Chain A
């Protein structure tokens, strides 16, 4: 496939692997956090860890939008569709995320609620036009990448005079979350997590640019490399991070130059600024309350805000007992440290959100990396036998 295969070239990968092994200092480890679930997925999907030296480790971060949404907000979404006889539409992964009381949007759908999977905000708008007598609520989730399309939909709804379209807004912000992780006691004082550098999510930066990371690269003395999502991007970015660390630099570098600029997509930014404003704080699963880390709909677009039109109470909900999603999302624990992992919690029957999305660390571990882990029963680690090249 043109423009894709080039970034998955095995020969180049082996060369890069050698270069990384040469540059990495044997006397130390490099703990590199990929913030975004897209990177987690690529690392497992292509077996990137196999090509890295043992002392370069990936720490999986909280950048999976369905994983970080607190259970209470999913409870809200279920209540919204059930209590208002509405059509609730959302992106596919959201459907299976467990809510309180063993519910999920998928189970609500099976019980008769009109929950629909859409691929874009435009599909949601189309539904609103098709069913003028029904309230159509778009359950908006995601980082800066999915925010501009939601802004566009709200503006279109206004232009088209749609009276039955609202957005339940759960858009969150990447830089605020990374900063929060670096300020967490585990990282700052206790030393429970060591994070030496960050892979910045490239799609987020295609919108916000690289500039928003400059403050904390400097403040926290951690290098950041904006990394594309193809496996060669990840490896090249790892090399760039290792170089910075070896040279004692903490800068924001851009590996994904084919798309990302320092200032980002100004048009998208102005659209977002027009429709949304910062929430004073927002709850993240795993991180707790994070100040100024999410967006809400501005008052002038209040008629399209589901939280204004309907009753959306604040629900405090708790994770399933034993579920380590919160620690896994902070990089404090690995999926295999969780007692539920692979026993009662599997992609078929997820207990925690990290097992739901293919971008969740647990799902990636389970689906792609299981053989690397000691088997649940036998404790045997199986390695692929490699034929001589």
Chain B
């Protein structure tokens, strides 16, 4: 019988990450095997090469990467692990592509509890499984205590775009309809509520979720969707401004039609924030021709991640690219880009 590679298992109860775990030696191999490979296990990763090799059919591929530095690492409704999968899967999927593979690069601070790292990796694996993507390659670095903030995770995703789908931020056209897939601001408020020094009681959970399943159904129903984007940092307001700038159009929103959770409204009122600028991690903005709006709205509302989907406005002719909004009150105002930072380290 061959000797065990690592006679003493990692202490996942009380152990911590040490510099040696990033040194490239046996200790690192053990960390990878007993935490990363154990949870991410798939044929491509398990080959143990420095790269993953896979076959793709001819066509267009998309690639996107996203660094995750959120604080705190565990928050109501998720953690940095699930977030690092959702964030990148969503960025890939917003092109209409089917997300296939992810890479994951970990920068871990010396002294970080192995138990917490294990929890994060478990959560990442569960998120990848639910989103039906594989984590096929990765990297581990350890930095000295005080030189990191627990764990930073960078993920890269690749996917394949179906034939006939051309979704891009510069394709919004005058007369198009603007839809959102649900309530705005849940993620940012959930993070805020758990930030040190600012704890307040709320039932709000982060909306962090992979939207590739929802997008697949939307693209199947209406392959001609013009734009899809997830309103993460900067919220709905900033994302619409980005699209308006790219497409050289204006937008006109109706405040009453923008779904915002009552608790998020209340928290924003208290903290002096505007939910339109607060981050989401499981919502999308869809811009489509008016004749497709109802179909897409139904598809969204029938999906677990689009129950509160709504039509919130339309695309108008405006060379300045202004986003304007009819307020609940009956007046109108500009909805500008986010200035400064509303919240620190939210994703």
Contact = CB atoms under 8 A, between A and B. Distances in A.
B1 interface: no
A291 interface: no
Interface string A3-16: 01100111001100
B269 A4 contact: yes
Contacts of A45: 327, 333
A46 B333 contact: yes
A126 B339 contact: no
B333 A368 contact: yes
Contact of A368 (B198, B326, B334): B334
A347 B326 contact: no
Interface stretch (A187-195, A261-269, A299-307, A369-377): A369-377
A366 B337 CA distance: 11
Given A1-B265, A382-B318, A382-B320, A47 B339 contact: no
Interface in A341-389: 346-348, 358, 363, 366-371, 375, 378, 380, 382, 384-386
Interface string B274-316: 0000000000000000000000000000000000000000001
A262 to B, nearest CB: 28
Interface in B219-253: 250, 252
Contact of B332 (A50, A118, A367): A50
Given A358-B272, A370-B322, A371-B322, A123 B197 contact: yes
B334 A1 contact: no
A49 interface: yes
A139 B197 CA distance: 18
Contact of A367 (B265, B316, B320, B336): B336
Given A44-B333, A382-B322, A1 B269 contact: yes
A370 B334 contact: yes
A48 interface: yes
Interface in B121-169: none
Given A348-B339, A371-B322, A50 B330 contact: yes
B331 A46 contact: yes
Contacts of B340: 96, 347-348
Q: How large is the interface on A (under 10, 10 to 19, 20 to 34, 35 or more residues)?
A: 35 or more
Contacts of B262: 1
Q: How large is the interface on B (under 10, 10 to 19, 20 to 34, 35 or more residues)?
A: 20 to 34
A47 B266 contact: no
A386 B254 CA distance: 11
B11 interface: no
A51 B330 contact: yes
Given A367-B334, A384-B324, A46 B329 contact: yes
B328 interface: yes
Interface string A28-55: 0000000000000000111111110000
A357 to B, nearest CB: 10
Contacts of B333: 44-47, 368-369
Contacts, number: 91
A8 B329 CA distance: 6
Given A371-B324, A384-B252, A10 B329 contact: yes
Nearest to A358: B272
Given A366-B336, A384-B252, A126 B330 contact: no
A123 B199 CA distance: 11
Contacts of B271: 119
A9 B331 CA distance: 11
B266 A1 contact: yes
Given A126-B197, A347-B339, A384 B329 contact: no
B64 to A, nearest CB: 26
A77 to B, nearest CB: 19
Contacts of A96: 340
Contacts of B336: 347, 366-368, 370
Contacts of A371: 322, 324, 332, 334
Contact of A10 (B252, B324, B330): B330
Nearest to A43: B331
Contacts of B319: 378
A13 B324 contact: no
A65 interface: no
A193 to B, nearest CB: 25
A148 B271 CA distance: 19
A14 B322 contact: no
B107 to A, nearest CB: 21
B198 A119 contact: yes
A63 interface: no
Contacts of B332: 47, 50, 371, 384
Contacts of A385: 252, 316
A335 interface: no
A51 B326 CA distance: 12
Contacts of A123: 197
A370 B327 CA distance: 15
Interface of A: 1, 4-5, 8-10, 13-14, 44-51, 96, 118-119, 123, 126, 231, 346-348, 358, 363, 366-371, 375, 378, 380, 382, 384-386
Interface of B: 197-198, 250, 252, 262, 265-266, 269, 271-272, 316, 318-320, 322, 324, 326-334, 336, 339-340
7 contacts: A4-B265, A13-B329, A49-B331, A118-B197, A371-B322, A371-B334, A382-B324
